[in-house]
Structure 1
Amino acid sequence: MMLSREKWDKLEYIEFLEYMKSMQDIKYRDFNKKLIPGTENIIGIRIPNLRKLSKEISKGNWKEFLEVAEDTYYEEIMLQGMVIGNINSNFEEVLYYIKKFVPKISNWAICDGFCSGLKCTNNYKEYMYDILKKYVCSENPWEIRFALVMFLIYYVDDEHIKDIFEYCNNIQSEEYYVKMGMAWLLSICFVKYEEETLLYIKNNNLDDFTYNKMLQKIIESNRVDLEKKNIIRSMKRKTRRY
């Protein structure tokens, strides 16, 4: 099917959706349903295949594609995020599509996949950071997760490491995927800034669940040596059992 086209309308999109369904892998669909709880409308298309589709679409009129694209299936939303990640334009235009997409994030896979594809962040780092500072203070857990994952991919550096610790201390959320996002982010901080993160581990405002998950992710990292893992293991908090 020709995807690098100069025009997209609703009828063409419906035909494209049928083409997507022809790529279905039932076993992969069932696997994803277990991996992404609460997400039912999954076709079952492997990520490399979605990336190929997004690259072809991005060679043509990707703006019209994003206008007609629908949100019924998990893969439709994932594909939109990939196309946005391929945009080669000024920051204002990229930001317009990012802001339209973020409200569609409803699971960790779409969130994290979208973040990893936004390589343009490296070209507009401080502009993007100003936007992320607003998302990380949101009451929407998926907006917070979006900011946290963006931080861990693009902002664990000299300039932002202290800010990251402060944000993690101030986030008040009982949402599982926010807590896991913080734990993941802080484990990356430890890998890159061991001394600074160790000081943070010794003095922070994290709840017990997030704190222990952070330690667990550090211990699981292949980039942390055994001696350091043993130190981290000894810092685990004991939690009450009822």
Structure 2
Amino acid sequence: MSPIFSSIEAPPGSRLSDVIAEQIERRIVDGCLHPGDALPAERELARQLQVSRPSLREALLKLEARHILEVRRNAGYTVAEVTAPSLTDPLLHLMCGHRKAVGDVLELRQGLETLAATLAAMRAEAGDIERMTEALEATERAHRAGDVSTAADWDARFHLAVAEASHNVALAHVMRGMFSVMRENVRRAREALFAHADAEPVLATQHRDLVAAIRAHDPEAAVRAAETHLRYIREGIDALDS
């Protein structure tokens, strides 16, 4: 894979460390780097940027102070998660005891995921389609193996892959920040739906219809596919309540 960083030179009157920090931030905003991604080792990153290691180290420390980067053991500098768990932890607690909270999360997902579907259909690249397809296939394998937890995890990762294919860094970060809630929401939805024997093939078809619409760069079809999928899930949960 080609380097994502390019050589830089500070304009007159600018600190080199500020220009370095700006390029790293730009790569995050552009979606080239995602939360949890590790930066190249310091020596390699300095080589790609064609800067001195003291200037690079100063830039990295600035980004760490802004909570854009964090240092992980055995991984060096990585892109930080910018959304805190303080929102998602209470939601998880509510979902464990109140079915209405499950429906409320579905309503939130409908807004976020129809937007993600629209933007993904406009902007998705080959790598994005590949990641969606891999998540779908992993979901189906886990279901066939009877591994409900892993199937739910990959199902949620599929929806996250759609959000990342939007190439909207704010949307992708929000979806990443609520991943644990989305995974629990998916688990409970699948639990409700699988009271019906035909649920899994229906879900698989709906997922694949969404990928097909995104691959065809058809935003309207992508929104219809996302809405059909989320409506099916909502109806399954509502049926369990009745």
**Above 0.5 in TM-score?**
no
Question: So what's the TM-score if we normalise by structure 2?
Answer: 0.28
- Which has the higher relative contact order, 1 or 2, with Cα contacts under 8 A spaced 6 or more apart? 2
Question: So what's the TM-score if we normalise by structure 1?
Answer: 0.28
